[in-house]
Structure 1
Amino acid sequence: MEISGENLYSCYQCGKCSAGCPSVDFMDLNPREVIRMIIEGHEEVLNSQSPWVCAACFTCSVRCPNEIDVSRIMEALRQMRLRRKHDAIRISEIPSEELMELPQIALISCFRKMTG
């Protein structure tokens, strides 16, 4: 993925990134699926909510045996979506029941993304 600078073709779909993700239960596509869709050229990955739910905690990147920075890929997907003039998911759009169950790291990351 050119914008992230990561070599996704070294991913062999082991799933360690997804297994350690604290936000995976709230994602429509887990990190492994996101990478697979990008490799296969599926543009609909840009419509996924997963990059916006990503806590950017780097757990996935640390767990990857091939040192793929999955957090960087999620950030690149957010940038690509915004560059195409798609709106980001707003906190007010997340149902309050789900918001209360999000891992604390996800909320901190969200505020970090919003404030720059």
Structure 2
Amino acid sequence: MLKIKINPKKNSHVQKILDLSKEKIDDCMQCGKCSAGCPANAGMDVLPHQVIRLLQIGDVESIKNSKSIWNCAACFTCESRCPRNVSVSKLMEAARQTIVRKQGGDMLNPNFVSKLMEDKKMPQQAVVSGFRKYSK
């Protein structure tokens, strides 16, 4: 069995996701209830409990490159099933935010939206949540 030490000093990318989501990934005990109850797990290449593990070991790139963060329905079923009250939905939303914010320097400029919508892979959910969260 391969042992992986969880790095208590999170890298800056993990810390950014934790700051945005306000979640405590160290509380997760990897029971898998979030993944078992997730209605969108069939379309995910990285299951919800695996997202938390990847964050714990500092592998943010695997999360950002997965289709799971875009397939998350943000229904909070994971949070309701979690015995430790960790919300994977909030973590996935934070991961989406970091990708969208990178495009606009931590702010989503309304003039940039038409350019975003030219990318057929850009989910509309990301653009709408961008206006809610990034225009301060």
The alignment status of 1:47 with 2:47, answered yes or no, reads no
State the 1:71 CA deviation: 1.1
**CA RMSD, 1 decimal:** 2.5
User: For residue 55 of structure 2, what is the aligned residue in structure 1?
Assistant: 38
| TM-score, scaled relative to structure 2 | 0.63
**Separation (CA, whole Å) in 1 of partners of 2:125 and 2:22:** 22
The aligned counterpart of 1:103 is: none
Q: How does 1:1-116 map to 2 (within 5 A)?
A: 1-44=18-61, 45-85=63-103, 115-116=128-129
- The residue number in structure 2 matching 1:100 is none
- Counterpart CA distance in 1 for 2:94 and 2:48 is 13
Counterpart CA distance in 2 for 1:80 and 1:112 is 14
- Alignment-mate amino acid for residue 31 of structure 1: P
Task: Please state whether the residue corresponding to 2:42 is helix, strand or coil.
Answer: helix
Segments of structure 2 that go 5 or more residues without pairing to the other structure are: 1-17, 104-115, 130-136
CA apart distance, 1:84: 2.4
Letter in 2 for 1:62: S
Change in Cα spacing, 1:8 to 1:54, as seen in structure 2 (3 Å) is same
The amino acid of 1:5's aligned partner reads K
| CA deviation string 1:10-33 (max 9, x = no partner) | 101000000000100101100001
Deviation of the 1:2 alpha carbon: 2.1
Give me the whole-angstrom Cα distance separating, in 1, the residues matched to 2:125 and 2:99: 18
Task: State, as a whole percentage, how many aligned pairs show the same letter.
Answer: 45
How many residue pairs end up in the alignment? Answer: 98
